[in-house]
Amino acid sequence: MTRNANVFNPLLDLSGLPRFAEIDAAQIEPALDQTLARCRQKINEIESACDHPTWDSLAAEIQDIEEHLERVWSPVSHLNAVTDSEAFRAAVEVCLPKLSDFSSELGQNLTLFNGYKKLSRSAEFELLSDARKKVIKNAIRDFRLSGAELQGDAQDRFREISSELSSLSNKFDQNLLDATDQWVLDITDEADLTGLPQSAVDLAYENAKSASIEGWRFTLQAPSYAPFMMFCESRMLRERMYEAYVTRASELGPNAGAFDNSALLVKIVALRDEMATLLEFETYADYALEGRMASSANEVSDFLQDLADCSKKTALEEMRALHDFALSEYGQEDLKAWDIAFYSEKLKQSRFDFSDEEIRPYFPLPKVLDGLFFITEKLFGIKIHKSDGKSLWHEDVQFFELLNSDESIRGCFYLDLYARPHKRGGAWMSDCIGRRRLPDDAIQKPVAMLTCNFTPPVGGNPSLLTHDDVVTLFHEFGHGLHHLLTQVDESSVAGINGVPWDAVELPSQFLENWCWETEALNKISGHFETGAPLPPDLLDRMRGARNFQSAMQMLRQIEFSVFDMTLHDNQRIRAPEDIQNILDEVRNQVAVLEAPAFNRFQNSFSHIFAGGYAAGYYSYKWAEVLSADAYSRFEEDGIFDAKSGQDFLRSVLETGGVNEPLDNFTTFRGRPPSIDALLRHSGLGA
């Protein structure tokens, strides 16, 4: 517990879990300043021992510094995403350049860099564990990628770029959040609700009630937007909703220019390109691919092209079938972008007699969680139970502990699952505390934060999930298990740390598969009122619809991936029009859905402009090949096969970033990965 000027600052108390409920915006900058001063003082001490470095005098000390800073900043970063406020924003904006400057100082410290190189050539190095060797190798790589070998003006410029990129990415996220939050569609005529499921209407009513207005309020948050586009009979209102959504944070649309990210995109891409050039990489894509499974942009492009070739013909057939259906059944001759979700849902219901809304009552969130925890215990021998009395950032947040078979705590996690204003959209897992071995030989238990944006409980009923929501929850929980189940004791290669970006989605996508299996579904589903199991005929219809328009969905992900890689693998970005032209070219090559000219998808593509996936969005498909093939072992041996579960635990979840992911996969599967399982699961054949 630390006190500054006799005023307690909860951010500086690292004795246990973060004290989220006590953190105030005014505490952020003082806490960071004090932490950075401590880190700099420690670095000065470490430098003096770099002539004859050892693991304990160099690598262990640097890990301590990095982990300490992460412990202080992680709660701030998380609160900024889930409880946005002007005061918090202002504090974070002031602090980001300070963080970036320190990161550059550390990453470009030539004394430390030379110390690591000496350590890697020392006799001690050969005696170190594999984990410690990997820490040192990664550090040497990261020093190079941070510009440690640059000199003079080039090194100064690299620092400036790093700081500016940090601020620009943060501003991108803020603009997107504001653009999403500040547009609403208020409806007072009940006739305009025709076609909408009761769950969507109830949520809109609660939104209006909370805003003290009459009628129903629809927003651009996923639980409101998605069902509106799928079910609202009013084509005019769907068009309004669609245009507002796809022009968020752009120069167009109902909030034109208010939160425009257009100029930020150009600056971010240009700065990334300049950063790569300073380090003598041909493009930013080449820079970003250092240390990943994929060896080059060409390899990624070939991979994506192979998937596109397997999908394009079927996707065109799916699109043609949708047009034919809309014309023959509804007389709709000219399908627009705001019609696709609506008529796709009609076609799915017609073809499979299945709707996601029909299945919602069978997936109440408490039942899904219980089933998810059962599956985790069955596969990996880990028990999960809820714990109370923690300092939380919102009344809806829950806290859980993972227990080993002897009831000892393996790790903990927070769950923040409902959409609300001032909370960033999407779903993600973030580190709160990482596993590491402490100086007294005790193990610091890992802690994760899992965030989703599901429909909140409405009208006294629990939150009712679509099956897609269930898949999302399993996905994020897979990330959480990767972080929490690690058995690596060195923090920089424990959990997801040190895992190549294009392999980090393996555990998350792997866990999604249990959402389709009868034995698992019997545990995660049950009617919220009666407890009745999912009817077999409804399950059959759901499975029948599993690969509905799967080729179109595949191409959409490939479109995003190719756009990302193309954007970061060239040097011709000078204006927003250049980015739009690249996206248009990619769509012409890949897409079967025609986007309207006003679509500004790129302005809300936070994955690559604010979320760490720059030149890495392909990772979702890359890792999906691994996850589908890994799951095929369970298809062969049984979905709850104990040996397969333990082998996956040991080979993938526990190993952190110590081994190469391909080696982990081969150890588990007994052979290199094959694309066949992914194509089969997607209904696209081998």
Q: Which residues are catalytic?
A: 476
Dihedral of the CA atoms 114, 115, 116, 118 (nearest 10)? 90
For residue 274, the one-letter residue type is: E
Distance, in Å, from the CA atom of 405 to the CA atom of 554, rounded to the nearest integer, reads 40
Taking residue 682's Cβ as centre, other Cβ atoms within 10 Å add up to 20
Distance, in Å, from the CA atom of 556 to the CA atom of 591, rounded to the nearest integer, reads 7
Residues near 56 by beta carbon (within 8 Å), at least 6 away in sequence: none
CB 46 within 8 A of CB 61: yes
At residue 71's C-alpha, the angle toward residues 67 and 73, to 5°, is 115
Taking residue 174's Cβ as centre, other Cβ atoms within 10 Å add up to 20
What are 542's two structure tokens?
A: 């759901």
SS3 labels along 194-230 = CCCCHHHHHHHHHHHHHCCCCCEEEECCHHHHHHHHH
Separation in Å, CA 537 to CA 94, 277, 362:
57, 59, 13
Which candidate, 449, 556, 564, 557, places its Cα nearest to that of 509? Answer: 557
Instruction: Give Cα 306 distance to the centre of its chain.
Output: 25
Instruction: Give Cα 365 distance to the centre of its chain.
Output: 21
For residue 75, the one-letter residue type is: P
Q: Name the E strands within 203-323.
A: 216-219
Which candidate, 507, 509, 569, 537, places its Cα nearest to that of 297? Answer: 569
Residue 629: exposed, middle, or buried by beta-carbon count in 10 A (0-12, 13-18, 19+)? buried
Instruction: Give Cα 26 distance to the centre of its chain.
Output: 29
SS3 labels along 363-421 = CEHHHHHHHHHHHHHHHHCCEEEECCCCCCCCCCCEEEEEECCCCCEEEEEEEEEECCC
CB 471 within 8 A of CB 512: yes
Which candidate, 320, 348, 304, 311, places its Cα nearest to that of 685? Answer: 311
CB 272 within 8 A of CB 571: no
Separation in Å, CA 592 to CA 336, 512, 514, 555, 683:
13, 27, 30, 8, 18
Instruction: Classify 329 as helix, strand or coil.
Output: helix
Distance, in Å, from the CA atom of 37 to the CA atom of 16, rounded to the nearest integer, reads 22
CB 591 within 8 A of CB 555: yes
Separation in Å, CA 137 to CA 109, 130, 303, 379, 629:
16, 10, 28, 33, 30
What are 57's two structure tokens?
A: 């005098």
Separation in Å, CA 16 to CA 12, 82, 445, 585, 681:
11, 21, 10, 51, 43
Q: What is the DSSP letter of 673?
A: -
Distance, in Å, from the CA atom of 610 to the CA atom of 608, rounded to the nearest integer, reads 6
Residue 10: half-sphere exposure toward Cβ, Cα within 13 Å: 15
Distance, in Å, from the CA atom of 495 to the CA atom of 670, rounded to the nearest integer, reads 23
